[in-house]
Structure formats: C-alpha cells, structure tokens
Amino acid sequence: MSSQCVLLENARRIEPRLIEIRRAIHMNPELGGMEFKTSRLVAQVLRELGIEVVENIAGTGVLGLLKGAAGVAGSRMRTVAIRADMDALPIQDKKDVPYRSRVPGVMHACGHDGHVAMVLGAAMILAGVRGENKLPGNVKFIFQPAEEGPGGAKPMIEAGVLENPGVDMILGAHIWPEIPVGRVAIKSGAALASTDEIRIVIKGEGGHGAAPHRAVDAIVVAAQVINALQTIVSREVSPTSPVVLTIGTIQGGYRHNVIADEVTMTGTLRTLNPVVRMELPGKIDRLLRGIAGGMGASVEFTHIPGYPPTVNDSRIAELASRSAAKVIGGANVIREIEPSLGGEDFSYFLERVPGAFIMVGAGNPEAGITFPSHHPRFDFDERALATGAAILSQAAFDYLSESSDFLP
C-alpha cells in the first residue's frame, strides 16, 4: 500500500458501479425511516463483498463488519467505522436528467444517495485490501436511517453499533456542492451546529381593537419579544461564538378589529459551542419572562433539544487530511473552512468516538451543478463518489496501519 495512488486507482475502476448504485437510489428515493429498498440494496452489495451484515437496526439501519486480517497489525486490532445516511426529502425533483426521482414529491436533495454509494465504494475497496490479507484492523460500515429527522444515529448507537467490536474511530462524509469536485474540506473542531427547536406561547388578554387599554395585546408583546430575542445573540453570547436564532413561525389573532389573546411562535436555535448551547435556554427564558411580565402578559417557553454540534477530533481531522492528500494532492485538501450552522446527527457518533466528518466537493458550475442542498434542482458531480470512496478507505486504512501511540 506504499503507492499512494492504489486506492484511488481502485476507486476509479469501481466508479461506473458507484454511479449506477447512486442513480438507482436517486430514482427510488425513500423518506426517513422508510429506507426499505435502499437498505436491502446496501445489505446485498455488502454480502456480495463477503462482509458480515446485520439488518433492521433501529428500523431500516444496516451494519456491515469487515474483519481485519489477524496478525498484520501485531498488537490489538483496532476498529474503524464509516457511516452513511440513507434518507431522502419530501421535495419534488425538478431536474431534467434521466435519473431523476420516480417518486412524486420525494427526492434525494441532500446527496444521501451519494453517501450510500461512496461508503459502499469504500467497502468494495477495503474488501479488496482484506482479500490480499493486508487489512490491519476491522472496518464497520454503518448505514443509518432518518438523518433529516427524527434522527437515526442515536437509536443505532443505542442498538449497539459502536460495540462488539468497539469502534475506536469513525468517519463520515457529506456531498458539498459549494466546494468544487476534486476537492474536500476537513475541519478540526466544530464543523456543524446544534439544531435545537424553541416554542414560545405568549398569553395576554383579548378584547376590542378599539379599547387596547382594557386588554393585553399578545401581538404587541410578540413584536417586542421577536426583536429582543436577537439581543441574546448580539449581547449575551461572545461575538466569537456564532449563534443563530430564527423565528420561523408566528400564529395568533382572529380578526382585524380583535385584540389577540395568544400568540405562538416556533424557531430554531443553533450554535457550534456545546457550553453556549447549555446556557441559551436559561437566557431566553429570563428575557421572555421579563418582557411578558413587564407588559402584563405571561409566557410559556419550551426548548426541544435537536442534534448536538458536530465536533471533529483534531488528530483524526489531521490524519484524514493526510490521507486525502495522498488521494487528491495536498493542494485540494481544504483545512480552514467556515463552519456551517447546519446540523447533522453524525454528531452523536462523534460524542461517543473520536472521528471526522469530511465535506466532499461535488460542485461543477460549468456543468450547471450549482444548486444548494434541499433545492428541487439539487444535483452533484458524480466524480465525487470515487473521490469520496478513495479518501474514506485511505483514511480508514491509514488509521488502522499507524502506530496507536498518538492516536485515540
């Protein structure tokens, strides 16, 4: 495995098969928790490679275990996991390509079809390495349901996918259309945000629109609250620690000449910092009570935790970057990239096991591949599949090969 291009060469050889798998899934997208055909296809490909398979984990989840060749590493054999998500989104596919979705109103608009193909590609490559008796540790392939919600990572962890054998390190990847195909970004530390939900109910006193002094106008209280909430972001959190608070819905009122007695708002609350995340609900609650109380209203605040921030281990990010450089050259590996305030339930794996989430460049403006994820015309440059498969397998191989002295 000294030649640095071996795994990429292998990946290029299987590229047509990866594109075929990706398109098969793309044409038959399945929503979170309903990935029945997708998981069957995953299990079938893994079995054909001689990989042990467990199906129906936390619903439609699939686990593959490729056992290392005993005695290659010398000491304790370590175990790497590589994870893919499988679910599509409730979006009508508006692309004009032969492989567009055949399911009305359902579409792979976040590249999870690509993640499945990429991780199956890594399984093909690493099964080949195992066939030559050169795999110095175990590799688990984790295919989870429902990343877009309600989340498949946590239930799969609870079902024991990180145990027996225990996983020492985990890798995940996401197709990233903002980065050109042929490049990847691997960040140390926080890469993606927490995704908590907030719900605010303001209770005033209804009345006639002509007599506001005899009522407590919940809409006026809500107006104060919406503006004041942004001071949580601007005045109560360090400016170096990003927080976003978006009120996404507001409902209240009956008629133009009636004072509303109640307003309900929901929103999303996101941050990269786990400590800030813990402090935010208390700050919001205090502010809400002050404003509502000061105006004679009352308020109910509910904080609904979403996914935690996705925080890469710096040592694994470094290792994966070196592996990626072997595959695509160091100039194509981006280490400094702005974090995104999007979220991922891969974060639950990273809370348990050190690892890295790799953003695989898949944009190609010349080919018109520019639409962001969750867009009805989202697509990606399929050359990303072989690149991603090669980098994931190279990083897994390098981790298993390196001395464990400096690695977790």
Q: Tell me which residues touch Ni ion (CB under 5 A).
A: 110
Q: How far is the CB of 344 from Ni ion (least distance, A)?
A: 7
Q: Using the minimum distance from each CB to Ni ion, give the nearer residue, 110 or 124.
A: 110
Nearest residue by C-beta to Ni ion?
A: 110
Q: Pick between residue 110 and residue 392 the one whose CB is nearest to Ni ion.
A: 110
Helix (H) or strand (E) holding 245: strand 243-252
| In the complex, minimum distance from the CB of residue 373 to Ni ion, in angstroms, rounded to a whole number | 6
The backbone torsions φ and ψ at residue 277, rounded to the nearest 5 degrees and listed phi first, read -60, -40
Kind plus residue range of the DSSP H or E element containing 13: helix 6-27
Q: Least distance to Ni ion from the beta carbon of 175, Å?
A: 8
Q: Is 307 a catalytic residue?
A: yes
- What does 343-399 look like in DSSP terms, one character per residue? --THHHHHHHS-EEEEEEEEEBGGGTB-PPTTSTT----THHHHHHHHHHHHHHHHH
Question: Given the complex with Ni ion, which of 110 and 202 has the nearer CB atom?
Answer: 110
Angle between helix axes 383-401 and 112-131 (nearest 10 degrees) is 50
Instruction: Kindly write down the DSSP assignment for every residue of 291-328, as one continuous string.
Output: HHHHTT-EEEEEEE--PPPEEE-HHHHHHHHHHHHHHH
Nearer to Ni ion, 321 or 373 (CB): 373
CB of 110 to Ni ion, least distance (A): 3
> 284 vs 26, 234, 289, 400, CA distance in Å?
42, 13, 9, 46
Question: Active site residue: 147, 344, 382, 399, which one?
Answer: 382
State the catalytic residue, choosing from 99, 307, 348, 399. 307
Beta carbon of residue 118, minimum distance to Ni ion (angstroms, whole number): 13
User: Closer to Ni ion at the Cβ: 326 or 377?
Assistant: 377
Catalytic sites, residue numbers: 307, 382
